[in-house]
Structure 1
């Protein structure tokens, strides 16, 4: 009887010890799990804090090449503590409107004469923070393969942007097709300033710049002056497909524009520095093969 009682006591003690041991292991596992979750939360908080420390800037750009160049610069800017947001546009007038109303911190789509023209016409209080590249203007034709073969009365189709007219007319003058009045700066010339026109070229300056590639496809016997960004988007290779192509000495440098109040903004100054860096300038050279020419500041 005593022996049986002793066995029962030993059995009960074993059950209690096993139960306690199981409870302890579970608490240890739970504790271990809680610790892992805490570590995950700490890492997430650190990542969030690091992201919050970045200075955000919003820059408006046309798709090609401007937005592509900005995308290439994004990781370099992040290393400098800047989170670059890119807003893309198809219409030239919108990036300046959004810069003026505060939607954008800066824009990157326009050359210097266009910027100055917009400032004079609309009264924008903008500044040029620095030049990044040149997009040589090209004149294209489906059926005309040589300047000497341009027929009399050929139509020259160009954008309605007055800032581009002198640029296009200067190209025509350089190739012996017209003569601009001597008392007019060729870069500021308009169709009314054409003094000599031996081939009786006709000028259509009523087209939105983004539609010029469509007119190139449709008006096969015309000369169509197309801005390089739109030419690239349409699959044209300016160095190969253009009848006339502007040289790299062009004064039509594409710039970063900002509101005058932000002229000394450190983040925007860093943006210009990064875009002018050897890495980005090399990217422009290799990516666009002469269709876009970098301009080191």
Structure 2
């Protein structure tokens, strides 16, 4: 009888251990790897990591220093999503690479801006001034809009600035020369070395170089710009629950407030 009681107790204990083990694994963790530029994208993703962990999502961040590799990595399934680009850039990449990557949501705008160590405003630029622009063709329309808004150029009738280039300039009252072909990440260095009369720098590289579009630029892209940064995914990931949680966290009111406070106007959340 005593032996039976011992066996029964052991059985109950073993059952409890099994049930406890089942309970501990009931909430599975899903790992998601997102490719991102160091600033501000990776910083924003790091901010939401703790929140996602509570929801069973292990967010891994793979940082890229250029605009070429993140889409290649996503298309080849080395990462689950990326966060570094705007829609016109993605469309251009898809067209050139026969890709089918899509946007999972717009998160923030990094206003592209013009900087100069020689002049305090665009209107101060002299005739035949040289403005250095990166080789990122998808940004050319943004640059044109800035100079058009300043009254320095006009565009040919019917020009769509989301896919425009400098050949679309109709009039150029100061004969400003837009010199292109530079790697985007090198633009702050060109600015510091005074290589041109002015330089156009993407906000992420400006922030990395301790430049503030709000304080240091001589002209900034308008907040109504359609060039908001997105999270890109493959079409087969549209229903990925973990990725949906990432987007929800990125677009939450608390994250938007944090972005405004942390980046002080260098990055603006998309409502």
TM-score norm. by structure 1 comes to 0.81
RMSD of aligned C-alpha atoms?
1.7
Matches within 5 A, 1:1-297: 53-219=28-194, 221-296=196-271
SS of 2:231 mapped into structure 1: strand
The Cα offsets for residues 191-244 of structure 1, whole Å up to 9 and x where unpaired, read as 111111111111111001010001111125521110000000001011010000
The answer to whether the Cα contact below 8 Å between 2:127 and 2:176 also exists between their aligned partners in 1 is yes
Partners of 2:162 and 2:142 lie apart in 1 by 5
Distance 1:163 1:150 in 2: 24
**Number of the residue aligned with 1:38:** none
Are 1:179 and 1:197, in contact at CA under 8 Å, matched by a contact in 2? yes
Structure 2 unaligned spans of 5+:
1-16
Unpaired segments ≥5 residues, structure 1: 1-41
Cα distance in structure 1, aligned partners of 2:26 and 2:114: 46
Structure 2 CA distance, aligned partners of 1:165 and 1:78?
Answer: 39
Select the structure that is richer in helix: 1
For 1:138 and 1:105, how far apart are their aligned partners in 2?
31
Cα deviations across residues 173-192 of structure 1 (Å, max 9, x unaligned)? 11111111113213322111
In the other structure, the counterpart of 2:13 is none
Deviation at 1:151, TM superposition (A): 0.5
Q: CA deviation at 1:146?
A: 2.1
TM-score, normalized by length of structure 2? 0.89
Flag as ranges the 4+ runs of structure 1 deviating above 2 A: 49-53
| Larger gyration radius, structure 1 or structure 2 | 1
Q: 1:147 offset after TM fit, Å?
A: 2.3
Q: Which moved more, 1:235-244 or 1:189-198?
A: 189-198
Paired residues in the alignment total 251
